[in-house]
Amino acid sequence: MHLFQLTNSCTDPCLGAIFAESRRDTDQNGISILLEAIELVSILSNNRLIFLEIFGVAFLEMRGTLLSITLVALIGSVLVSGRIEEMPMPPELQSCLKLIQTKTSVTDTVGEDIFFTCLNSFLSQPKKNDIEECNLSEKEWKKFERLINQSMIMVAGVPKPRSGIRTRQEYRKLTDKARNAFHKAVIELNKSGEFKLFACVHQGDVLKSGHNGTNFLGWHRVYLAMYEEALRRIDPTVALPYWDYTLDLELEDPTKSVVWSPCFMGNGRGKVNTGPFANWATHLGNLERNIGFSGSLTHKSNVSDILSKCRTKDVTYPGCDRRFVIEINHNPVHPWVGGAMSGFKSAAFDPVFFLHHAMVDYIWQLFRDRQRDVCYVDPSTDYPNMPGEKYHAANRTMDRFPMFKNIDGYASYWEDHWYKYEPSPTCTYEQDCGSAWLVCQGGVCIPKTAEECHINVTRAYTKAKAITGSGNIFLEKKPYDPGTALITPIQNNFFINGKADMKLWAFVPIQVIYMKPTAESFPVYRVYNDKLDLNQDFYNYPELNKFIIHGHLKEYSNCKRNPSGANQIILESNGINYLGRYIEYTITDSRLLVGTSMVYIGVKNPEFENTEAIISAHDRCGRMCQPQCLDRGSNPAKYRPCSGAIRISPASPKMYGNTLGDAIMDVWHLWGRDPGNFANKFELVMVCNNDGEWPWK
């Protein structure tokens, strides 16, 4: 058998073919020839995976002591191939990032928050044949207008709710009866089709006039009031609760909060299949969540920062300092919940959206109370002007609520006639949190966990209160828990352009390089002369630090590091010329000064049309990684900063896999030998280096 001689005549691996036929004794030689042929094809393909389509037949024919093996393979027929090219960042996204760069830096503002703001602003722009838009008929919009008109009556020129004033409570402060009534009202609203109408309102021009500006607070205040009134037409005892996630941050792992249990919002990972909203459908498919992988919940310190100001211009976008802007603080909660909540066009299809925005409105009300009582500012007239921004102009007609002007969202009649807020739960050693689902620990109310949902918590609380006069159960401080996000896979919905099907996806290998901040250390020490040196971290070598540029990136205030050194890097692809999002993560070793890992990210399969996507990466603390693209022709491989926007075509040499398995085989040579790595040149690398530089080029 002269297989290697065949390679000399195989000048074009895309057209050449190998024919190998041999008859051997029944030993391993026959199989060896087959494996040799397969290995040879990999060599001919420049170390790109070729998984052969067999056009002939490979068969074992046992005749006495003879083994017949026939192999006919077409080298050019491959499952993994496709070209990846760098492309400029979309102008709208680039201009947003440049505007923010003039006001802040990634050392002062969490990078993921900056990118999320600009990315969603870009993705929310109207597109031709945009299936993410509800595209409601004129008849449906007329129905919505009637619902709004039926929600209120005019008394001396002041709009008042038909159902009267109500009091909003923190979600876990609701009694079991009140909570179940609220859930039932939302379900009934959905059955009637009215929930969809409210969700679809949060699209179109509203994404301009109700976001990134002064009108964010007022528009959402009117929106919530009308939604709440729709619920009260079903059950007049219902009030919209707010979800105070600052309480959840008192848990070592907020993803374990009872909010994400069948007793409340249902499961927080994957398709929602438990709780009152199990099998909830959106206009894009089943409702899904991926809590805790990205973003962050608002911390009490963030609220304190906001409440240190007196004027609305300081707490509304763009603001002089993003730390104090209510809208900016609200943004990270969307990706923290994940799934539908990750996109502004789809966020309102998750019932938790309205509880999130009720919390935002509660924070704003605290600010307004301070304006009136401490700063002597009238909040109803303190509407900042945004020069050149027509959508947020005070006297512009409010989108979807044409009976109001933008400034009407700031009016005092909402708090005077529509609703009040019960303060968020607090406690002392003498006074409990007032809820069976909250426990007082060191004077702080801490939520029960999802594991306790199945327990009759209310009965236990009532019994304790009857015996002791207080429902308090003081807990000991638990040891650090790295959380479930580090060990739970992400469930992607594989949704592209209105259809969920893995066959529409392709997978691209991306390398992640992580550089450890010098401040991080681990309790592993050097040993010299039989003595443990507690002053020297085994993993830290100062002589290597001179090769690394160290800075300080702003991180989420609730960021916790895993004591094992395992560090989670989250990668995300978002379609530019298609509707689709894919999230995946990889684990790096943060003990080492420099570490590397690899991840396979999903994008639209470019078989019928070139794929354009934006790839981004960040760690669990919100610190962004910098995309770097291969400098073509460099040897050894060199990389330079780039935008992270890529174009993928089916042209050769192809660089993606039609399945995850194909992509893995593109990188690893597994044909019966010891694994070999072919990926010496990744087209895109994410460098997480903490150097403090602006990561978007």
Instruction: Give domain status of residue 227, yes or no.
Output: yes
CA distances from 27 to 32, 50, 628 (A): 9, 27, 50
Structure tokens that stand for 152 in this block: 């209120």
Are 436 and 504 contained in the same domain? Answer: no
Least confident of 32-41, 240-249, 334-343, 355-364: 32-41
Are 457 and 587 contained in the same domain? Answer: no
CA-based torsion, 307, 309, 313, 317: positive or negative: negative
Instruction: Give domain status of residue 644, yes or no.
Output: yes
Instruction: Give domain status of residue 113, yes or no.
Output: no
Tens digit of pLDDT for each residue in 213-241?
999 999 999 999 999 999 999 999 999 99
Tens digit of pLDDT for each residue in 282-324?
887 889 999 998 999 999 999 999 999 999 999 998 877 888 9
Residue range 361-389: mean pLDDT, rounded: 95
Residue range 351-368: mean pLDDT, rounded: 98
Say how far apart CA 34 and CA 68 lie, in whole Å. 11
User: In sequence order, what are the residues at sequence separation of 6 or more whose Cβ sits closer than 8 angstroms to the Cβ of residue 181?
Assistant: 235, 237, 238
Identify which of 86, 85, 88, 80 has the alpha carbon closest to the alpha carbon of residue 679.
Answer: 80
Please name every residue paired with 619 in a beta bridge, in sequence order, or none if there are none.
Answer: 569
SS3 string of 541-597?
Answer: CHHHHCCCCCCCCCCCCCCCCCCCCEEEEEEEEEECCCCCEEEEEEEEECCCCEEEE
Are 467 and 555 contained in the same domain? Answer: no
Are 372 and 458 contained in the same domain? Answer: yes
Q: Which pLDDT value is given to residue 370?
A: 98
Q: Is the peptide bond before 318 cis (omega within 30 degrees of 0)?
A: yes
Are 301 and 445 contained in the same domain? Answer: yes
Tens digit of pLDDT for each residue in 379-394?
999 999 887 788 999 9
DSSP code per residue over 48-102: S----EESS----EEETTEEEEEEEEETT--SB--EEEE-PPPHHHHHHHHHHHT
Q: Residue 166 — pLDDT band, cuts 50, 70, 90?
A: very high
Q: Give the count of domains, the chain.
A: 3
Instruction: Give domain status of residue 115, yes or no.
Output: no
In the block, residue with structure tokens 């919009």: 141
Tens digit of pLDDT for each residue in 636-676?
889 999 999 999 998 877 788 999 998 888 888 776 666 66
CA distances from 364 to 164, 245, 369, 473 (A): 22, 15, 9, 32
Are 565 and 442 contained in the same domain? Answer: no
Q: Which pLDDT value is given to residue 132?
A: 67
Q: Which of 16-20, 67-71, 258-262 has the highest mean pLDDT?
A: 258-262
CA distances from 517 to 462, 592, 623 (A): 49, 10, 12
Instruction: Give domain status of residue 96, yes or no.
Output: no
Say how far apart CA 263 and CA 249 lie, in whole Å. 19
Are 380 and 346 contained in the same domain? Answer: yes
Please name every residue paired with 39 in a beta bridge, in sequence order, or none if there are none.
Answer: none
pTM for this structure? 0.83
Residue 48's domain comprises: 3-74
Instruction: Single out the residue in 12, 44, 74 at which a domain terminates.
Output: 74
Instruction: Give domain status of residue 330, yes or no.
Output: yes
Are 228 and 173 contained in the same domain? Answer: yes
CA-based torsion, 241, 242, 247, 253: positive or negative: positive
Asked whether 45 and 12 are in contact (CB, 8 A), the reply is no
Tens digit of pLDDT for each residue in 537-565?
888 877 777 777 767 889 988 788 788 88
Instruction: Give domain status of residue 560, yes or no.
Output: yes
Instruction: Single out the residue in 434, 449, 478 at which a domain terminates.
Output: 478
Residues of the chain above pLDDT 90, percent: 56
Are 292 and 354 contained in the same domain? Answer: yes
Q: Which of 64-78, 283-297, 613-627 has the highest mean pLDDT?
A: 613-627
